[in-house]
Amino acid sequence: PPPSRSPHHPFSPEKHCTLRRSTSYPSTANNLTTASGITMFARSFLRTARASATAVPSARHARVFSRGFSAELSSDSYTDASIDRLEANQADSFLAIGTRRLFNADHDMFRESCREFFREHVVPHHAQWEEQGHVDREVWLKAGEMGLLGVNCPEKYGGLGADILYAAIVWEEQMYAKGSPSGPGFNLHSDIVMPYLLHLGTEEQKMKYLPDMNAGKKILAIAMTEPVAGSDLQGVRTTATKSDDGKGYVLNGSKTYITNGFLSDVVVVVAKTAPEKGAHGLSLFLVETGTPGFDKGTKLKKMGLKAQDTSELFFEDCYVPAEALLGEENKGFYSLMKELPQERLQIAAECQARAEAAFEEARTWTNERIAFGKPLFDKQVRCGTLKFYRIQHDLKRHCHWHPSSGPSSSESKKAAPFAHGPFTHTSQFTQRSQGIAVVRMSNLHVLPTRRSCGINW
C-alpha cells in the first residue's frame, strides 16, 4: 500500500481514486467510463499537486486500480517546473527534447550535445562501418573529447562525475539517431565494464587505465562467454593458474561473441582460479592487447548489429602479473552478480528508446506515403495499428516499480533515480500492464492525452 498519510493530507490513500475490477469483462461503455474516471482523477491530482507543491513531501504517491491491477505512481519532485514538463507521450514526438519529469534543463542541454554527436559523427559513416564490421577509432576519440564516455565516472579519473541519468541519455540518443546505429560500443565500455574497475580496482589500476578510457584512447571489453558456456558461469573453462614463480597467473582458454573484442585495448577476463569450486572459484583479470599469449580471432559475421565489432579471443599460456587481478581472488562470481544488473537496466532503456525511434520513423513514413490519393496514415487499419503500438510504448514508459517506503539503504539510494523513472519494472507488473493494453486498446486510444502527475493513459 502507499505510505501512511494523514486522512487530511491531500495525497492520503483515502483521497485516492479506486476503480475496482468487475466480476465479468466490462462493456465498452464501462471501459470508457473507467478510462474517463482515470482522466478525471488525473486532473484532480494535478490541481492538488500544484496547489500544495511546497507543502507536500518530496515523494508523492498515488495508486490507480483498474481491471485487477494497481499502479503506484510517484515523482521525486512536483514543483511547478517539473509539472510543466510534458511526458514523452504528451509531446508531438517521443524524441522531443525537454520532456519527462525525470529530467531537467541540464539534462536537456546534454541530450542536445549527444544528439548532435550521433547525427554528425556516427550516422553518416555507419553504412561503411557495417561493411567493415567495426567502427573507426576516430569516433571513440571524438566521443571522449565531447565527454560521452565514462559519463558517471569521477572527474579525478577523467569522467564527468554525473549521475546515471546522464549515462541513460547517451544510451537513448544512440538509439534515437537515424537507423538506431549499433556500431559504437560506448555503453558497454562506459556503463557495463568500467564500473568493474571503479568498484573493484586498486587506485593504481584506476589511475593507469581510467583516464585513457574516458578519453577514448583505450577501449574496454569484458570476456565471459565461451563456446560452451554463456549465462552458465559454472561452465567457464578458461583457467588462471598461479605461475611457477608465484608472482602472476597463466591464462588458458577461449572466449567468443565478445563485444568490442576486435578493437579492445583492455579486456576484463573471467577465468577459474579454483576449478573445483565451480562458479565460486571465478576471478577477474585485466588483460591488455599485446600481452604474449593473447590473440584475437576474426570479426564474427552476424545477422544484425553488423557494425558492432564482435570477435573471438584466445589465451594460450598468457602470463599476467598479480597486479592484473581485479578484485579478490575467487570472488569474481559475486562481483559479476553485483555489476550485471546495470547491464540489464541499460538493455531495457535501449530497447524502449529503439522502439520509440522505430515508431516515429513509421509514423513519418505513413504520413508521407500516398496510396489511392491519400496518406497511408488516413487508412483506418494503418492508423489503428500505429495507435496500438503508441499506447504499448506509453505503457512501458510508465509502468515502473519503486519501494513504497522510499529508499532506505545506500544501495537503494543509488538506484533511486531509476526507482522513480521509466527504466525499471517487475516482470509481473509488465505482464499485467500488457494485458490491459490488449483488452482496453480500442477504448483507450480514443481519449486525448492528459497532462497529469505521472498518469498518462
The count of C-alpha atoms lying within 13 angstroms of the C-alpha of 62, restricted to the half-sphere facing its C-beta, is 27
What is d(CA 457, CA 450) in angstroms, rounded to the nearest whole number? 8
Which residues are known to be catalytic?
343
Compute the half-sphere exposure of residue 228: CA atoms within 13 Å on the CB side of its CA.
Answer: 7
Please answer whether residues 274 and 333 qualify as being in contact, where contact means their C-beta atoms are separated by less than 8 angstroms: no
Between the alpha carbon of residue 393 and those of residues 328, 350, 364, 397, the distances in Å are 42, 13, 17, 6
C-alpha cell, 383: 492508423
Half-sphere exposure (Cβ direction) of 126: Cα atoms closer than 13 Å = 20
